[in-house]
A and B are shown apart, each in its own frame.
Chain A
């Protein structure tokens, strides 16, 4: 019987993130499908509260690494903790979230354990007694269904694929795991997060609002209207609490020092060399809908676009509704209506 291990780290407040709770559901689903049990492995400053919070999940043993060295995300210490936990658990298949912390450290631990990784998987299930994952290749252009013989097999699960585990707390059976002292030359100094009122990337938002380069282009009167564009875009995303995305062309302009929209950075970029966010709905404005942009919409449910050009990329089967209209006029009215 394959030994399945759910792996997670705690947050600064000692809890488990939503992404980790989703990975717990993934591990549980796989174990049930394979008719196997599973264990849990947690690391962080102090993981006792997190273990108790999910004590009822069905995991056998909770293998735990606690200590100040593991409070922050840092490759050397995280890779050492993950390696020790997987060794202690004798894990064959390790399931975890694909958040930044685990994505950074898991491949290193896999190497140390002579294992393999399938990262960013979008489905995980048992078929005829074997585990299968689904993952995307070529930036979400095609997907593959994969199984493999090597163990340990690390599977990092993308957000939004599984429901977050939501069971009753209890008293977890915890087994502390020691990690030999890790030599590291790295100190984590700070997390730079935008202030709450300046936050425009909202991963949990129901709507993604994408701004394209058209917002800064000359309009019908022969002039660009960038300040109004900024006002309309921010006005909308704030009122609708939408997450703000951008095309590459628009964010590249700010890198090249042109007068553009100062609140946009490469972090907002959606597409081939940007993000592939997951939202139920998406509205693209002044964006042409070229393929390298639209691959970033793979996990956007309903899609609509506003563009002056009836032959833009969005018209080629890439969205559900294309409004051929001036986005300035439309968004001015939308903002007024949602007041």
Chain B
């Protein structure tokens, strides 16, 4: 009797993880050197949430997926060129900073306001997806606060699997300590799911889906509402890079026996 889900995926953008990052201080607080120039990607765990959302929507007729993203409009436009090829969605944009030094409570406020304003969103069908942690701020606190603001108090974090039962119930597997999972059953939407890696590989690019998405992405970017987010009340006394270079001793042209002996001694020592 499923009439489908309204799946809203919250996903920010982050610097490509292969880039070298360096903190700098700006009048608005800490930031990254050349932040606007760094190539960006959709936050990885949020990407998994998007792939899971698209997969779920495909199997539940009547479903719809929105991607709600807070970031500088120009950067979002770049990132969407590739994300749009992966899965069908409608984009909702909050035009504001995407950095890792903003406050999750403020970000949650902006995201919740944008979600509230989505025309035709049925909260009784709402599945609010996102990554369980961002690759920028990395606190794992935003999704809970967005959920609270929208009145959704069935919440799950570190989700790797969602199975919809014949009765519309949601069976959810969340990561807990020591490589174990907690399995819960929620009677149905609305619910918040902060995804870990999930179970789906990254979908291949689909240019047709990309074209379809782009038709809605450009107007969404034009309609972007400015979002003023920062880190009110927070003082950053210092932001530093760790002293990470080690003096690596390279052992080569050495018999495997000697290496093995050295490793065994090291482990035991």
List the count of A-B residue pairs having beta carbons below 8 Å apart: 274
Task: Report chain A residues within 8 Å CB of B178.
Answer: 193, 199, 201-203
Segment from A2-10, A214-222, A223-231, A316-324 that makes contact with B: A316-324
B144 contacts chain A at the CB level, 8 A cutoff: yes
A266 touches B246 (CB 8 A): no
Contact of B183 among A120, A192, A304 (CB under 8 A): A192
A331 to B101: give the CA distance in the assembly, Å. Answer: 43
Assess whether A185 is in contact with B187, with CB atoms less than 8 Å apart. yes
Contact between B238 and A145, CB atoms less than 8 A apart: yes
Q: Are B180 and A192 in contact (CB under 8 A)?
A: yes
Whole-angstrom CA separation of A290 from B21 in the bound complex: 15
Question: Chain A's nearest CB lies how many Å from the CB of B183?
Answer: 5
B15 within 8 A of A: yes
A206 to B, closest residue via Cβ: B267
Contact between A108 and B182 (Cβ–Cβ < 8 Å)?
Answer: no
Q: CB within 8 A of A318: which of B142, B145, B201, B248?
A: B248
A135 — which chain B residues lie within 8 A by C-beta? Answer: 139
In chain B between 165 and 220, which residues have their CB closer than 8 angstroms to a CB of chain A? 171, 173-188, 196-197, 199-201
On chain B, the residues within 8 Å of A252 by CB distance are 201
- Give the dominant DSSP class at B's interface: mixed
Closest Cβ–Cβ distance, residue B200 to chain A (whole Å)? 8
Residue of B nearest to A333 (CB): B260
- A186–B250 CB distance below 8 A: no
Q: Which of B157, B182, B188, B246 has the most CB of A within 10 A?
A: B182
Q: Which of the candidate stretches B64-72, B80-88, B116-124, B229-237 sits at the interface with the other chain?
A: B229-237
Pick from B4-12, B52-60, B89-97, B148-156 the stretch touching chain A: B148-156
B244 at the binding interface (Cβ < 8 Å): yes
Query: Which residue of B104, B183, B196 is within 8 Å of A266 (Cβ)?
Result: B196
> Given A273-B197, A322-B251, A324-B250 in contact, is the A283-B263 Cβ separation under 8 Å?
yes
Q: Mark B13-46, 1 if CB is under 8 A from A, else 0.
A: 0110110110100000010100000000000110
Distance between Cα atoms of A318 and B105 in the complex (Å): 35
Q: Flag whether A169 is at the interface (Cβ < 8 A).
A: no
- Mark each residue of chain A from 284 to 320: 1 if its CB lies under 8 Å from any CB of chain B, else 0: 0000001110010010001110100010001111111
- The closest CB in chain B to the CB of A116 belongs to B105
Q: Cβ of B188 and Cβ of A119 under 8 Å apart?
A: no
Q: Is the CB of A266 within 8 A of B197?
A: yes
* Chain B, Cβ-Cβ closest to A295: B17
Report whether B138 and A108 are in contact in the complex, using a CB–CB cutoff of 8 Å. Answer: no
A333 / chain B contacts, CB cutoff of 8 Å: 256-257, 259-260
Which residues of chain A have C-beta atoms less than 8 A from B137's C-beta?
A: 137
Q: How far is the CB of A331 from chain B (nearest CB, A)?
A: 8
Among A76, A256, A304, point to the contact of B263 (Cβ < 8 A). Answer: A304
Cβ contact within 8 Å between A330 and B263: yes
In contact, B233 and A104 (Cβ under 8 angstroms): no
Residues of B within 8 A of A137 (CB): 100-101, 136-138, 239
Chain B binder among A29-37, A40-48, A147-155: A147-155
CA distance A138 to B98 in the complex (A): 12
Q: How far is the CA of A229 from the CA of B157 in the complex (A)?
A: 33
Distance in Å from the Cβ of B70 to the closest Cβ of chain A? 17
Q: Once the chains bind, are A100 and B256 in contact (CB under 8 Å)?
A: no
Contact of B248 with A321 in the complex, beta carbons under 8 Å? yes
Please, how many angstroms separate the alpha-carbon atoms of A165 and B184 in the complex? 32
A337/B30 in contact, CB under 8 A:
no
Interface string of A141-168 (1 = CB under 8 A from B): 1111111111000000000000000000
A283 to B262, CA, bound (A): 12
Q: Are A144 and B148 in contact (CB under 8 A)?
A: no
Give Cα distance in the complex from A273 to B195, angstroms: 11
A73, A266, A316, A331: residue with the most chain B Cβ atoms closer than 10 Å: A266
Q: How far is the CA of A267 from the CA of B105 in the complex (A)?
A: 28
B135–A142 CB distance below 8 A? no
Tell me, yes or no, whether A79 is within 8 Å of chain B by CB. yes
In the complex, the answer to whether A292 meets B105 with C-beta atoms within 8 Å is no
Partner of B135, one of A75, A272, A325: A272
Cβ-neighbour of B197 out of A256, A269, A334 (below 8 A): A269
Distance from A190 Cβ to chain B, minimum over Cβ atoms (Å): 5
Most buried by A among B23, B197, B262: B197
Beta-carbon contact of A189 and B239 below 8 Å:
no
Which residues in B have their C-beta under 8 angstroms from that of A24? none
The interface residues of chain B lying within 8 Å CB-to-CB of A320 are 246-249
Separation of A290 and B245 alpha carbons in the complex (Å): 14
The closest CB in chain A to the CB of B23 belongs to A142
- Alpha-carbon distance A205/B220, docked complex (angstroms): 50
> Which residues of chain A are near B173, meaning CB under 8 Å?
192
A-B pairs with beta carbons under 8 Å apart, 14 shown: A76-B153, A110-B105, A111-B149, A137-B101, A142-B240, A144-B236, A191-B182, A199-B178, A256-B201, A267-B175, A310-B250, A319-B248, A321-B248, A326-B256
Please give 8 more A-B residue pairs, beta carbons under 8 A apart, in addition to A185-B186, A317-B244, A334-B260: A76-B155, A104-B155, A107-B142, A120-B140, A136-B138, A144-B237, A145-B236, A273-B197
Interface of A with B (CB < 8 Å)?
A: 19, 73-76, 79, 99-101, 103-108, 110-112, 116-120, 132, 135-139, 141-150, 184-194, 199-203, 206-207, 240, 252, 255-256, 266-269, 272-273, 281, 283, 290-292, 295, 298, 302-304, 306, 310, 314-326, 329-331, 333-334, 337-338
